[in-house]
Amino acid sequence: MAVGQLWTDAGQAQCVDLLDLNTRSGIATTYFGAWGSGGNTPLVTDTTLQLENPEARTAILAANISQPLSNTCRWTYSLTATAVRTVQETGVLTAVTGGTLINHIVHGSLSLVAGDIVTYTVDLVLKDSSE
């Protein structure tokens, strides 16, 4: 298992719910990128970032979601530091507050000052067992 980069259980459940005609209408399909300072290894059971930073989540518009391959969903989003920040985790969620955490990535620590911009490109690649 890739260390530190996960498709969460909640994200997997959302995918199943989108396939199910009985549940899909109730699924939020808006996406927001968030960042935080937590550095612990993420777990598939995570439902939030560890220590989300106070900058508002970035709405990820359809133009910033793509499929570079038919089995891959790509989200691209940027966040701007409004003060000195440490950033060590990111995730895509379905709401501007709360929401479902689709994926959770912990990365090397970045020390930011006000005005620094981080752009994340996050790919979710689904494969069968032989791939």
Partner 1 sequence: MSQDTVFGKADVKALIKLQKADGRTLYYQVVDQKNIEISEQEYKLQGGI
**Adjacent-strand bridge partners of 66:** 74
How far apart, in whole angstroms, are the C-alpha atoms of residue 130 and residue 26? 33
Amino acid type, 37: S
Q: What do you get for the CA distance between the two ends of the chain, in Å?
A: 14
Q: Which residue has the tokens 């989003």?
A: 77
Q: What is the contact mask toward partner 1 in residues 81 to 100, using x (rule: CB under 8 A)?
A: ---------x----------
48, two tokens: 């939030």
Residue 67 lies near partner 1 (rule: CB under 8 A)? no
Residue 6 lies near partner 1 (rule: CB under 8 A)? yes
Residue 3 lies near partner 1 (rule: CB under 8 A)? yes
Residue 49 lies near partner 1 (rule: CB under 8 A)? no
Tally the residues of the chain: 131
Question: Binding segment for partner 1 among 26-34, 51-59, 93-101, 109-117 (CB under 8 A)?
Answer: 109-117
Residue 23 lies near partner 1 (rule: CB under 8 A)? no
53, two tokens: 């930073």
How far apart, in whole angstroms, are the C-alpha atoms of residue 79 and residue 66? 19
Contact with partner 1 (CB under 8 A) among 41, 45, 67, 97? 41
> What's the min distance (Å) between Cβ of 70 and partner 1?
14
- Tell me whether strands 65-66 and 31-36 are parallel, antiparallel or unpaired: unpaired
Contact with partner 1 (CB under 8 A) among 18, 61, 84, 114? 114
Give the footprint of partner 1 on this chain (CB under 8 A).
Answer: 1-7, 12, 15-16, 39, 41, 44, 68, 74, 76, 90, 103, 105-108, 110, 112-129, 131
